[in-house]
Each structure stands twice: as C-alpha cells, then as structure tokens.
Amino acid sequence: MKKIGAQALILILFLWGKLSFKTAQRIGAMIGVLLYYCKSDMRRIARINIDKCFPELSDYHKRKLVKKTLQQTCMTGAEMPGILFKNPQKLLKQIQVVHGGDVSQRLYEEGRGVMVVAPHLGSYEIASMYYSSKYPSAMLYTPPKIKTLDKLILRARSRLCENMSPANQKGVKMLFKAIAKKEVIAMLTDQVPVDAGGTYIDFFGNPAKTMNFAGKLYERYKPAVVLSYAVRNADGKGLTLFNEDLEPLIKQYQAIDGVEDPVAYAFTKRFEEIIRQYPEQYQWTYKRFKYHPDRVDYYKKDKK
C-alpha cells in the first residue's frame, strides 16, 4: 500500500513538473495565501520570527510581511517538481541576470577550491545548480522519508552534480574530499546545527545557533569563499543571481579578538544585510531560533 502511495505521489510530482515555472509559482503563491488565512503553523512560526527580527514594524506591516513570506515559501515548494523533472539547462534559463559571475570564475581559477555559502532565500535550489553546471562540484541534500522519492531526488539532482550525498557523516566526508581536490562545494549555512557543535551569533538582534562546519573546512583547507543567492525578480520574470567574495569580510572578523568563528560571523552578518533587502523571500517559516543559550523556547504553543 505504501508503495502505491509513493508511486501516486511521484506521478503527481511528474505532472506538476510539466507546468511552466511561472504557473507553478502562481499556484504556490495561492497556496501561501490559503495557509495565511487558515492560520497555519507556518504562519505562526513566520510571525514569531518576524516579531523577533523586525520589532520596529507596525502590526499591519508585520502581517503583510508574513503573508508575502508564506507566498514566497510556497513558491519555492511549487518550483521543486520542475527542478526534479525539467531539463537542467532549461531551468538555468530562469537566471536572467548574473552579478559577480567573474568573481566566482576568478576564485575558482586560483586553484584553492571554492566553498559556496548560501541562505534559505529566493530560489536557492537553482542558485546551487548554477555552480554544479559550471564546475566540478559536491553538494548535500536532505533525503525524504519515502525511499522511492529519495531515489528520484538523488537521480534528478545528479544530472548536473555527480557528487551528491545525503546530509550525514558520509556526505560530510564527501565534502572534505571534494574541497581537498580543489573542487566546488555548496551548502545552506543558515541551517540550525543538530549536534552539539555550533556558535551563537547575533542575527537580527537575537542569538542564533549557527553551524561551524564551514569554518572548520576553511581553517583546514583555506578555500575561496563565495556567498551566492538567487532572488525572484519583482516583475515575475525569472531570477537574478548574486555572487560575492566573502573572504575580505572573513579576514576582518579574524582580526577581531573574541570572534570564535570568523566564517560563521561573516556569512551571518551578510545574510542579515541581504535579507533586509528581500525580507519576504527569506524562509521565515523555519525555526531559526530553535535553540537559545538560556533555553528559551520561542516557538512553544500557548495552551488553550
């Protein structure tokens, strides 16, 4: 019975993947509006995060940002079937403008390997595809619980990136191996670390537990570090991809006494600046402040 259910889900995803990117985004935006008015848990979490990060906003503007956030988050989800089934080169045509393409090329040609760090903002899946289409790459992904779906996702993502691995110990070893070979690796570094590792860094005025894996890689192999993100254009026509050299900022933090992880500080501070430019495109539905140094639970539901 489970196998039939998994096959039915794959069929739905396949048919959804046949939709144009723009149509899928429109449907995703409508689902986001529905989740907003249904008072979903996604809405609750987004509002908590926005309350913490934008205390200066009025209640009206907070509600407006929550609604836009749900629309953008659901647009990201609605894009996924297309990413799984469409021709990769066709997907890359969604990128209308590239800023800093020469930066990533120059850093790659230095021969140190390149570590790409990215936030959960905009169309981060296509941003990663840009690098895997141009350079020898290694990337991680979070496998779904349904094994049949896991095989599909792995096969789809391996069309451009040969070195794909689940985000586990095996995947971590793969990244170390790739960067040692001077290849390109990419990761979403605003994910909350699940293990004991991590550093609390100020993020929008709140302590956010931040992964130190990128910092360990940098300390050991000294790769170039590129910050990359792809935002949806305001006119609804495709994406704009940004790439920037993060090393100058990392070196600034290295020169400051008491900074435990200069790499994590650098990307966290830049993420905040970027998110302030495109606040509705950040994934505020994610429990970014799940852990707190004083064990405060921001996301605890009120008892009725």
**Distance of alpha carbon 5 from alpha carbon 8, whole angstroms:** 5
Q: Is 204 left (phi over 0), alpha (psi -120 to 50) or beta?
A: left
Averaged pLDDT, 167-181: 88
Q: Residue 154 — very low, low, confident or very high, per pLDDT cuts 50/70/90? A: confident
> Which DSSP helix (H) or strand (E) runs through 42?
helix 41-53
What is residue 160's predicted lDDT score, i.e. its pLDDT?
67
What does the CA dihedral 1, 10, 138, 92 come to, rounded to 10 degrees? Answer: -170
- Report which DSSP code applies to 169: H
Provide the CB-side half-sphere exposure for 4 (13 A, CA): 1
pLDDT tens for 91-100 read 999 999 999 9
Averaged pLDDT, 136-161: 76
Averaged pLDDT, 213-235: 95
Averaged pLDDT, 22-34: 96
For 231, phi then psi, to 5°, come to -105, 150
What does the CA dihedral 127, 105, 279, 302 come to, rounded to 10 degrees? Answer: 60
Q: In the numeric block, which tokens belong to residue 175? A: 């990244």
Q: What is the mean pLDDT of the chain?
A: 91
What is residue 142's predicted lDDT score, i.e. its pLDDT?
74
Would the CA dihedral through 198, 204, 207, 208 be positive or negative? Answer: negative
Burial of 3 (0-12, 13-18, 19+ CB in 10 A): exposed
pLDDT tens for 249-280 read 999 999 999 899 999 999 999 999 999 999 99
Q: Is pLDDT larger for residue 284 or for residue 150?
A: 284
**Distance of alpha carbon 45 from alpha carbon 136, whole angstroms:** 37
Percent of the chain with pLDDT over 90: 70
Averaged pLDDT, 104-117: 96
Q: Is pLDDT larger for residue 170 or for residue 51?
A: 51
Q: At what angle do helices 41-53 and 59-85 cross, to 10 degrees?
A: 120
Burial of 120 (0-12, 13-18, 19+ CB in 10 A): buried
Q: In the numeric block, which tokens belong to residue 152? A: 């599909």
**Distance of alpha carbon 284 from alpha carbon 73, whole angstroms:** 8
Averaged pLDDT, 159-172: 78
What is residue 108's predicted lDDT score, i.e. its pLDDT?
95
Q: Is pLDDT larger for residue 140 or for residue 62?
A: 62
Averaged pLDDT, 157-177: 80
pLDDT tens for 199-215 read 999 999 999 999 999 99
**Over 80: is that where the pLDDT of 141 sits?**
no
**Over 70: is that where the pLDDT of 232 sits?**
yes
What is residue 8's predicted lDDT score, i.e. its pLDDT?
83
**Distance of alpha carbon 127 from alpha carbon 242, whole angstroms:** 9
Q: Is pLDDT larger for residue 212 or for residue 140?
A: 212
What is residue 304's predicted lDDT score, i.e. its pLDDT?
55
**Distance of alpha carbon 62 from alpha carbon 50, whole angstroms:** 7
CB neighbours of 14 closer than 8 A, spacing ≥ 6? 81, 85
**Over 80: is that where the pLDDT of 68 sits?**
yes
Q: Residue 27 — very low, low, confident or very high, per pLDDT cuts 50/70/90? A: very high
What is residue 258's predicted lDDT score, i.e. its pLDDT?
87
Q: In the numeric block, which tokens belong to residue 24? A: 């899928």
pTM: 0.92
